[in-house]
Amino acid sequence: MRYVLITTARNEEQYLEETIHSVIRQTVLPLRWVIVSDGSTDRTEEIVAKYLPDHPWMDLLALPGRAERSFSGKADAFNRGLGRIDSLDYEYIGNLDADVSFGEDYFAYLLGELDRDPELGVAGTDYVEGDFHSFRDSYISENHVNGQIQMFRRACFDQIGGYLAIPYGGIDWVAVTTARMKGWKTRSFSDRVFNHLRRMGTEGTNVLGARFHYGKKDYFLGGHPLWQIFRSTFQMTKKPYVLGGTLLLAGYLWASATMEKQVPEDLERFHRGEQMKRLRGIFTGTGNRNG
């Protein structure tokens, strides 16, 4: 079970050390862990550097600074990290954000699930963020693999072309959905969870701003309008009550009037087909965690 990890980090001094501690305690260590500092101006590189002498399987790649954080930049940084593992013989490749923590058998568990099912292309788990649970408190299927930790079978990762540069976000979603479109299984398992230490989508904004942004993303990633109505209604029952779901729908409607979609037509059709299948399952009572 030879695996590698790549982490892109931009000014992550607040949480990065907790992520490092989680990895170095793993019962199955990675063959290589490349941490790409994406133009960090804080102590990110200093924190990583102090662990390198005692952990030769860790690697730091420091990239020059750029004007601002962007999702396109994250994909570019990840792909630069790929260049550091070209010569290695590995079976699985993981994307690991720099603001997560998890138990010491976390990667052994994911690798075991991948090893058991050769058709499983991408594996991950649910996560918790304070009192929020990623599956219980969201309108999501277990076929979605949360972007903070995604473990790919190498053959799957190569077939989908890895992470594509998308300016407004969703690079992890596109990768996982493309994998399903090409016939791979993808799954978030519930037997383990990881802790997301920063509230989702709040870099440079607040919780309400994040909801509006996610609504925009739902549109430019090709989400069906009927699905968005039900998703937004569901979110109105969660904190922040009513307002969060309203902003989610408002973001979708605003984007539909002002933005272009960022996904190919075949991926949009596949995505909308999955959404409609899940809605039919919900209304007929035949739906389950798989959607």
**pLDDT digits over 234-291, tens only?**
889 988 889 999 999 999 999 999 988 889 999 999 999 999 998 998 888 765 544 4
Could you tell me which residues come within 8 angstroms of residue 232 by beta carbon, excluding any fewer than 6 positions away? 215, 245, 246, 248, 249, 252
pTM confidence score: 0.90
Question: CB under 8 Å to 45, separation ≥6 — which residues?
Answer: 37, 60, 62
Q: Is 129 exposed, middle or buried (0-12, 13-18, 19+ CB in 10 A)?
A: middle
Q: What integer pLDDT is reported at residue 1 of this predicted model?
A: 67
Strand, coil or helix: 36 = strand
* Helix (DSSP H) and strand (DSSP E) numbers for the chain: 10, 9
Extract the tokens encoding 96: 């690991």
Which of 126, 119, 189, 188 lies closest to 159, judged by CA? 119
Whole-angstrom Cα distance, residue 277 to residue 268?
14
Quote the CA–CA distance of 182 and 160 in Å, as a whole number. Answer: 8
The CATH superfamily assigned to 3-196 is: Spore Coat Polysaccharide Biosynthesis Protein SpsA; Chain A (3.90.550.10)
Band of pLDDT at residue 16, cut at 50, 70 and 90: very high
Measured CA distances, 198 to 18, 43, 148 (Å): 12, 18, 11
pLDDT in tens, 83-133: 999 999 999 999 999 999 999 999 999 999 999 999 999 999 999 999 999
